[in-house]
């Protein structure tokens, strides 16, 4: 999209985005998402992401996100552990290795810089 827009995040239709099985620590989490804007050079991405309960690992990009619904505990290897829920804003640094324990299906809006 190259123009200004608004989107009601709780009702947005998302597409399945299967996890790499190596990322799944426990449970059967499923991920879906939608990129709503990307810069021409692909270095800035804005979107919506959702994950169902379970435990997964990830290596993060430079990201700011706001939780819309659900909750999770995010453990940053060698750093902080925090729990996020509706209305919480969080920042992850590029290269952070994280473990996400998703307590209830979590939906977030995000801005990533690559």
Question: Mean pLDDT for each 10-residue chunk of the chain (114 residues)?
Answer: 85 97 98 96 97 98 98 98 98 98 98 96
| 8-state DSSP, 18 | P
Q: What is the pTM of this model?
A: 0.94
Per-residue pLDDT at 3: 77
Structure tokens at 68: 């819309």
Per-residue pLDDT at 2: 61
Burial degree of 28 (CB within 10 A; 0-12, 13-18, 19+): exposed
Q: Coil, helix or strand for 23? A: helix
d(CA 41, CA 21): 30
Per-residue pLDDT at 49: 98
List of E strands, 60-96: 62-76, 81-84, 89-92
């Amino acid at each position: 999209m190259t123009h200004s827009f608004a989107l009601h995040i709780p009702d947005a239709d998302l597409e399945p985005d299967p996890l790499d099985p190596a990322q799944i620590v426990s449970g059967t989490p499923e991920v879906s998402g939608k990129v709503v804007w990307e810069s021409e050079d692909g270095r800035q991405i804005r979107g919506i992401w959702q994950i169902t309960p379970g435990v997964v690992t990830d290596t993060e990009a430079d990201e700011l996100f706001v939780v819309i619904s659900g909750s999770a505990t995010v453990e940053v290897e060698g750093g902080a552990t925090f729990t996020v829920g509706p209305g919480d804003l969080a920042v992850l640094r590029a290269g952070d290795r994280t473990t996400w324990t998703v307590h209830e299906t979590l939906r977030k809006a995000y801005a990533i810089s690559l």
